[in-house]
Amino acid sequence: MTSTTPAQPAALPRTTTTTTTTTTTAAAPSAGVRADVLVVGGGIAGLSLAAELAEMSGGACSAVLVEAEPALATHTSARSARQMQPSYGPPPVQALTAASLPLVASIEDFTGRTVLRDRPLLWVDTVGGAAGREALARLLAQVPALRPSAPAEALERFPLLRPEAVHAVAVDDDAREVAVPLLLEHHAERARRGGVQVLLGAPVTSAVRRAGGWDVTAGAHRISAGVLVDAAGPWADVVAALAGVRRRGLVPKRRTVIVADTERPIGEDWPMISDVADTLYARPGRDVGGDLLASPAEAVPSEPCDAQPVPADVDALVTSLGGVLDLGAIQVKRSWTGLRTGPADGLPVVGWDDRQQGFFWLAGQGGYGIQTSSALARAAAAAVLGQVHGLGPTVDDALAALAPSRPTLLS
């Protein structure tokens, strides 16, 4: 990733203030904190970046992470479907997912705990006719690694699929299920071990550019930093506006998930299924406390908020599931709604702001945050530190498509 005009710091010096490995809240006001980098947002994007900054700098970069909520990963990151699927999303997202998979797999070498497990993804044409064929053909053309298959394979691997609802199938054999709580825990531990100061209950209320950096108020804390990283998820455009930075048209959109018990048993090792029309997905749900995890894959615009399920959406999903899967009686045990935030072109916004020096975007992951975060964090940390990310030219191409200055973003 390269810097854009105005010029950004090629490398960050360490501040004279020593950063301690502590977590504080708004109940403990600080007289002032100094750091090289301030990361706004304690979801998967900000947390993984903080961990990479600590490790890649070898402790030479002091960093502070602020989170508005009293706990890390309160919103979208804690409400994901827990999947990493190389065939899911536009091409730059697919490239970043492919680069993230080995990085996430390597966590097992350090923790001795299972982070990834095989969970193939079956893309199913449940529509039929020309519309279904065209949707599946587009997907196969976009993802060469996808394997075309016959309905018989889908019915064998997910026996509760209704035969009349399966017209054609493509298989992503490289898809994995990821233990998101363990992933978040690992990033948080790396960040804290590397001296990142984590301030909870600290919403950003002002950010003023000064010579050489930023003065930021976050809850009861006053923070001075050379670089401000906007990893605030649904609130990313709000934080940018507070900093006097041009918004990028980031729109939060609702997505609801249910966990249900079903009358007919579901095998724990069955694959995930997703409608090629992107109107429904489902997978075994033992890891989240039920027989089945499912979503209507809705994308309804919302204000940044603590999103909650709409009962009508849950009821409609149960009805839709009955048309595709022969589940028998369904008992919804719990449900949640997250906000998938992104711009109109559907790509994340990552890189130096083209007008405001020292402002770095790490936002707009649009529901792809879990599966792309490891590669994005490595690349973003390298850009902030003036290093080389080492992830290869495919990632370079992907990052170029995510630039905050790209013409498809709102001005």
Domains parsed from the chain with CATH numbers: 1-117+177-249+343-411 (3.50.50.60), 121-172+251-341 (3.30.9.10)
Does 349 score more than 80 pLDDT? yes
Question: The tokens 């010096």 sit on which residue?
Answer: 13
Confidence bin at 20 (pLDDT 50/70/90): very low
Cβ neighbors of 122 (< 8 A, separation 6 or more) are 154, 157, 158, 169, 170, 171, 172, 271, 272, 273, 274
- State CA 317 to chain mean position distance: 23
pLDDT value at residue 77: 64
d(CA 121, CA 109) in angstroms, rounded, equals 26
The whole-number average pLDDT for the span 340-359 is 97
Does 19 score more than 90 pLDDT? no
> Three-state SS for 262?
strand
Confidence bin at 14 (pLDDT 50/70/90): very low
d(CA 63, CA 153) in angstroms, rounded, equals 50
Q: Is the separation of the CB atoms in 72 and 200 below 8 Å? A: yes
Does 157 score more than 80 pLDDT? yes
d(CA 383, CA 379) in angstroms, rounded, equals 6
Does 411 score more than 80 pLDDT? no
Confidence bin at 410 (pLDDT 50/70/90): low
The whole-number average pLDDT for the span 14-24 is 34
pLDDT in tens, 105-136: 999 998 899 999 999 999 999 989 999 999 99
Does 3 score more than 50 pLDDT? no
pLDDT in tens, 50-83: 999 999 999 899 999 999 999 987 876 666 778 8
pLDDT in tens, 296-346: 999 999 999 999 999 999 999 999 999 999 999 999 999 999 999 999 999
Taking alpha carbons only, the member of 366, 355, 358 closest to residue 402 is 366
Structure tokens at 118: 């095989």
Higher pLDDT among residues 18 and 204, named by residue = 204
The chain-wide mean pLDDT, for the chain, equals: 91
Entry field: residues in the chain: 411
pLDDT value at residue 31: 58
Cβ neighbors of 386 (< 8 A, separation 6 or more) are 9, 10, 11, 12
The whole-number average pLDDT for the span 259-288 is 95
pLDDT in tens, 205-225: 999 999 989 999 999 999 999
pLDDT value at residue 111: 87
Q: Is the separation of the CB atoms in 289 and 303 below 8 Å? A: no
